[in-house]
C-alpha cells in the first residue's frame, strides 16, 4: 500500500472500517464521509486537501467518461447506423425501389417480398417486433451470435461493437407502431404465395453460390 498517499488511505480506511493508527485525519463513521476532520499539522493538512481534491477530480472524471460512453449508445447514432449499414434495404418494404425515400415511420417493419434460393424462401422480419421481445442485453447477445439464412448479412451484425448494437436497439425500440409480422420462412421446393426475388441455383463453386456460403469469411 502506498503509505505516502493519504487519498488511498481514505478509501482503504472506509473499506476495512479502520484507519492506520498514525493517520493524520479522523473519519466520523461511514455515514459521515466526506466530513473528514484533520488532526494533522498545517503542512499535513495542505497535503490532505490536495489528496482529497485529486480524489474528487478522479471520481468526477471517471463518472463523466462513464456518462460519455453511455451517451454514445444513443438513439440518433442507432438511426445513423441502421441507415448506413443497409438494414432498411431488406427490412423496410419498398426502400430500395424508392431510392431510400421511405419515411422513418415505416422503417424496419419487415417485407413481404421473399428471397428465394437453394435455402428456400426467407423474409426480412419486422425488427420492431423482433426487438420488442428482447432486453438490451439479450439483443446484444443475440446479435453477436446470430447466424441466419441468406441474404441476411448476419456476420456484419456479429462484428458490431456492443455500443453500436445498443444504439441500434435504442433506435428500433422507440419506433411505433410495432406493425405486423413478415411472412414465415418457406422451405426449398415449396412455392411461396408472396412475390419473391429469385436467386439462380448456380453450379457449386461458382462466384454467386460462393457469396452465400462463406458467411462473410472471405479471407483466403
Residue 89 lies near ligand HEC (rule: CB under 6 A): yes
Q: Work out whether strand 25-27 and strand 114-117 pair parallel, antiparallel, or are unpaired.
A: unpaired
How far is residue 202's CA from residue 205's CA, in Å, rounded to a whole number?
Answer: 8
Q: Select from 166, 182, 66 the least CA-distant residue to 128.
A: 182
Residue 112 lies near ligand HEC (rule: CB under 6 A): no
User: What minimum distance in Å lies between the beta carbon of 105 and ligand HEC?
Assistant: 18
Residue span binding ligand HEC (CB under 6 A) among the ranges 3-11, 13-21, 54-62, 85-93: 85-93
- Sign of the dihedral defined by the CA atoms of residues 119, 123, 127, 128, in that order: negative
How far is residue 29's CA from residue 35's CA, in Å, rounded to a whole number?
Answer: 9
Residue 93 lies near ligand HEC (rule: CB under 6 A): no
Residue 121 lies near ligand HEC (rule: CB under 6 A): no
Residue span binding ligand HEC (CB under 6 A) among the ranges 40-48, 72-80, 94-102, 143-151: 143-151
Give 80 or 185: the residue with its C-beta nearer to ligand HEC: 185
How far is residue 44's CA from residue 19's CA, in Å, rounded to a whole number?
Answer: 16
- Contact with ligand HEC (CB under 6 A) among 6, 117, 122, 186: 122
CB 212 within 8 A of CB 151: yes
Residue span binding ligand HEC (CB under 6 A) among the ranges 34-42, 44-52, 84-92, 198-206: 84-92
Give 5 or 185: the residue with its C-beta nearer to ligand HEC: 185
- Contact with ligand HEC (CB under 6 A) among 13, 78, 125, 192: 125
In total, the chain counts a number of residues equal to 220
Count CB atoms within 10 A of the CB of residue 73. 19
Q: Give the contact letters, 178-207, x = binds to ligand HEC (CB under 6 A), - = no.
A: -------x----------------------
Q: Measured in whole angstroms, how far is the alpha carbon of residue 187 from the centre of its chain? A: 32
Residue 41 lies near ligand HEC (rule: CB under 6 A): no
Rg (CA), the chain: 28
Residue 162 lies near ligand HEC (rule: CB under 6 A): no
User: What minimum distance in Å lies between the beta carbon of 73 and ligand HEC?
Assistant: 15
Place of cell 464521509: 33
In angstroms, the Cα distances linking 128 to 108, 123, 159 are 6, 15, 21
Residues in touch with ligand HEC (CB under 6 A): 85-87, 89-91, 115, 122-125, 127, 130, 146, 148-149, 151-153, 156-157, 168, 185
Amino acid at each position: 500500500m502506498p503509505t505516502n498517499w493519504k487519498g488511498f488511505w481514505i478509501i482503504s480506511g472506509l473499506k476495512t472500517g479502520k484507519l492506520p493508527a498514525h493517520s493524520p485525519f479522523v473519519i466520523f463513521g461511514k455515514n459521515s464521509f466526506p466530513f473528514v476532520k484533520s488532526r494533522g499539522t498545517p503542512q499535513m493538512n495542505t497535503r490532505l486537501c490536495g489528496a482529497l481534491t485529486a480524489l474528487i477530480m478522479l471520481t468526477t472524471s471517471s463518472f463523466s467518461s462513464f456518462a460519455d460512453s453511455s451517451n454514445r449508445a444513443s438513439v440518433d447514432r442507432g438511426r445513423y447506423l441502421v441507415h448506413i449499414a443497409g438494414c432498411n434495404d431488406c427490412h423496410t418494404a419498398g426502400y430500395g425501389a424508392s431510392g431510400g425515400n421511405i419515411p422513418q415511420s415505416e422503417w424496419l417493419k419487415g417485407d413481404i417480398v421473399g428471397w428465394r434460393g437453394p435455402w428456400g424462401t426467407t423474409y426480412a422480419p419486422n425488427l420492431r417486433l423482433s426487438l420488442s421481445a428482447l432486453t438490451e442485453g439479450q439483443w446484444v447477445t443475440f446479435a453477436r451470435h446470430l447466424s441466419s439464412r441468406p441474404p441476411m448479412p448476419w456476420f456484419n451484425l456479429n462484428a458490431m461493437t456492443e455500443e453500436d448494437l445498443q444504439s441500434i436497439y435504442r433506435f428500433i425500440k422507440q419506433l411505433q407502431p410495432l406493425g405486423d409480422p413478415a411472412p414465415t420462412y418457406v422451405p426449398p421446393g415449396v412455392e411461396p404465395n408472396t412475390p419473391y426475388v429469385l436467386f439462380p441455383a448456380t453450379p457449386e463453386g461458382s462466384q454467386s453460390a460462393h457469396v452465400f456460403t462463406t458467411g462473410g469469411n472471405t479471407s483466403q
